[in-house]
Structure 1
Amino acid sequence: MKKLGLASIGAAFQRAYERAVGRMHLIVANSENVRGRIQRFLGRDSIVVYPPCDTEGFAFAEPQGYYLSTARLVALKRVDRIIDAFRALPGKQLVVASGGDDAEALRRRAAEAPNIRFVGWTDERELRSLVAGAVATIYVPKDEDFGMSPVESMAAGKPVIGVAEGGLLETVLDGETGLLLPAGFTAEDIAAAVDWLTAPRALSMRRACEARAAQFTRARFINGMRAAIASAGGIEVGVAGAGVREGAA
Structure 2
Amino acid sequence: MKNYLLYDFMQVAGGAERVTLTLAEAFPEFQTLVSRCYPEAQPLLDGSAAKVQELRGGWSARLPRILESLWCFRFRAERLQNANTVLYSGFYAPLAVYQQRSGRRLYYCHTIPRFAYDLYDSTLAGFPFWLRPFYAVFVRWFRAQYEAAIGRMDRIFVNSENVRARLQRYTGLDAEVVYPPVATQHFRFLADEGYYLSTARLVPNKRVDVIVRAFLQMPDRFLVVLSGGPELERLKAIAGEAPNIRFTGWQADEALRRWVGNARCVIYLPVDEDFGMSPVEAMAAGKPVIGVAEGGLLETVLPGETGVLIAPDPAPQAVMDAVARIEQIHGERLSAQCRQRARRFTEAAFIDRMQAILR
Length-normalised TM-score, structure 2: 0.62
1:37 correspondence with 2:166: yes
Asked whether the 8 Å contact 1:136–1:202 carries over to 2, the reply is no
> What is the aligned residue count?
230
Q: 2:189 maps to what in 1? A: 60
- Contact 2:210–2:316 (8 Å) recurs in 1: yes
CA distance in structure 2 between the partners assigned to 1:202 and 1:177 by the alignment: 11
Conserved 8 A contact 2:195-2:264: yes
Output one character per residue of 1:97-119: Cα deviation in whole Å (capped at 9) or x when no partner.
Answer: 00111100000000142100010
| Candidates 316, 319, 323, aligned match of 1:190 | 319
Q: Which residue of 1 aligns with 2:144?
A: 15
2:308 maps to which of 179, 182, 186: 179
Q: Secondary structure at the match of 2:269?
A: coil
Alignment-derived partner of residue 107 in structure 1: 236
> Residue 111 of structure 1 aligns to which amino acid in structure 2?
G
- Give 1:199 shift: 7.6
In structure 1, the partner of 2:200 is: 71
What amino acid maps onto 1:22 in structure 2?
A: G
Aligned AA (1:80): D
Alignment gaps of 5+ in structure 1 = 231-249
Asked whether the equivalents of residues 135 and 202 of structure 1 are also in contact (C-alpha less than 8 Å), the reply is no
- RCO higher in 1 or 2 (8 Å CA, sep ≥ 6)? 1
Instruction: Give the match for residue 259 of structure 2.
Output: 130
* 1:118 alignment partner, one of 224, 240, 247: 247
Q: Match for 2:191: what amino acid? A: E
* Equivalent residues of 1:63, 1:199 under 8 A apart: no
Amino acid at match of 1:93: F
Inter-partner Cα distance in structure 2 for 1:104 and 1:202: 35
Report what 2:227 is aligned to.
98
Partner-residue secondary structure (3-state), 2:224? strand
- 1:159 counterpart = 2:275: no
Q: Is the 8 A contact 2:290 2:308 kept in 1?
A: yes
Distance 1:227 1:183 in 2: 37
Which structure has the bigger radius of gyration? 2
Q: Deviations over 1:1-32 (max 9, x none)?
A: 53332322222221110001111121100000
Structure 1 CA distance, aligned partners of 2:352 and 2:164? 19
Shift of 1:227: 3.4
**Identical aligned pairs, as a percentage?**
51
Matched to 1:67, the amino acid is: Y
Tell me the TM-score normalised to structure 1 length: 0.89
- Provide the secondary structure at the position in 2 that maps to 1:4: helix
CA–CA distance in 1 between the matches of 2:353 and 2:133? 42
Q: Secondary structure at the match of 2:200?
A: coil
SS in 2 for 1:89: coil
SS at match of 2:313: coil
Question: Counterparts in 2 of 1:138-149, with a 5 A limit?
Answer: 138-149=267-278
Q: Gapped runs of 5+ residues in structure 2?
A: 1-129
Q: What is the rounded CA distance, in whole Å, between the counterparts of 1:57 and 1:221 in structure 2?
A: 16
How far apart are 1:160 and its partner, in Å? Answer: 0.3
Q: Is the 8 Å Cα contact of residues 286 and 339 (structure 2) preserved in structure 1?
A: yes
Contact 1:164 1:181 in 2 (8 A): yes
- Distance in 1 separating the partners of 2:297 and 2:226: 20
Provide the residue aligned with 1:243 in structure 2.
none
Say whether the 8 Å CA contact 2:216–2:242 is kept in structure 1: yes
- Mapped to 1, the partners of 2:313 and 2:304 lie a distance apart of 19
CA deviations 1:87-106 (Å, max 9, x no partner) are 00000000000011110000
Q: How far apart, CA to CA, are the structure 2 residues paired with 1:67 and 1:137?
A: 6
